[in-house]
């Protein structure tokens, strides 16, 4: 049984896997890790392996806890991966993006694949039909755009996301939401169209915390999978167990 830990910019995502099957997933604040880990281990005492992916630098306390209780793999630039990484600066590539491409390599090994992760940032990652990762793009996420509108202006308020927003906003708040939500949806559709023009038989995966709100607005055909990153981390762990 595997414990998957992904430490992101805004929260910790975790899951318990039995082989390739996800048994339960969790989202919790970074500072609640020790408390949450103890509960997970109590509920699933069969956990023997773990993998840690993090976008923050200091995870020494988490690593110590996991090493004491499991056989720990820490995802890094030298980790053995189930795809060829052609990224020019692999040492700067986010670990979450490695995990997403690993999931793509498992599920869509002979397919041109665009993975869109809608979280704090929106990342675009492309893997070709030869199972080679070529790179992608990074764009501000929904919350980041709303915060930027407030931070860099004198009068625009700090607002929360709402789903049911029309194209024409009849108030400042609705105008901001329309600009951000419809703007991002148009951005995604435009980028997808450009990939489709260059690569035939393209499969698109949309994942991340804002999957639900964006999947309803993107016109291009996509597969929504909010657990794609966790599945990729589990696959990397299984892939490295045999070494």
The pLDDT of residue 243 is 62
| pLDDT tens digits along 76-134 | 888 999 999 999 999 889 899 999 999 999 999 999 999 999 999 999 999 999 999 99
Q: Is the predicted pLDDT of residue 213 greater than 70, yes or no?
A: yes
What are the catalytic residues?
96
Closest CA to 53 of 94, 102, 1: 94
* Residue 117 is assigned to a ligand binding site: yes
Compute the C-alpha angle 29/34/36, nearest 5°. 65
* Residue 153 is assigned to a ligand binding site: no
* Residue 16 is assigned to a ligand binding site: no
The pLDDT of residue 168 is 94
Q: How confident is the model at residue 220 (pLDDT cuts 50, 70, 90)?
A: confident
- Residues 167-180 have a mean pLDDT of 95
Domains of the chain: 2-74 (3.30.420.40), 90-232 (3.30.420.40)
């Amino acid at each position: 049984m595997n414990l998957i830990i992904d430490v992101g910019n805004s929260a910790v995502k975790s899951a318990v896997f039995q082989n390739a099957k996800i048994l339960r997933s969790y989202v919790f604040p970074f500072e609640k890790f020790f408390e949450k880990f103890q509960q997970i281990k109590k509920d699933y005492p069969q956990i023997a392996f773990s993998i840690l992916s993090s976008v923050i630098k200091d995870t020494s306390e988490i690593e110590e806890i996991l090493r004491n209780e499991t056989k720990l793999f820490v995802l890094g630039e030298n980790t053995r991966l189930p795809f060829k990484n052609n990224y020019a600066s692999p040492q700067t590539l986010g670990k979450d993006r490695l995990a997403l491409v690993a999931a793509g390599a498992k599920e869509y090994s002979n397919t041109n694949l665009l993975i869109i992760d809608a979280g704090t940032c929106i990342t675009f990652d492309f893997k070709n039909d030869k199972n080679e990762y070529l790179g992608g793009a990074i764009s501000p996420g929904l919350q980041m755009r709303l915060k930027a509108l407030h931070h860099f202006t004198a009068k625009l308020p700090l607002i929360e996301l709402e789903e049911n927003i029309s194209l024409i906003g009849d108030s400042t708040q609705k105008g901001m939401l329309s600009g951000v939500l419809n703007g991002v949806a148009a951005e995604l559709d435009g980028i997808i169209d450009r990939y489709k023009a260059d690569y035939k038989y393209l499969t698109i995966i949309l994942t991340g915390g804002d999957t639900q709100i964006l999947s309803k607005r993107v016109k291009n055909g996509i597969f929504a999978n909010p657990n794609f990153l966790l599945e990729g981390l589990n696959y990397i762990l299984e892939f490295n167990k045999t070494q």
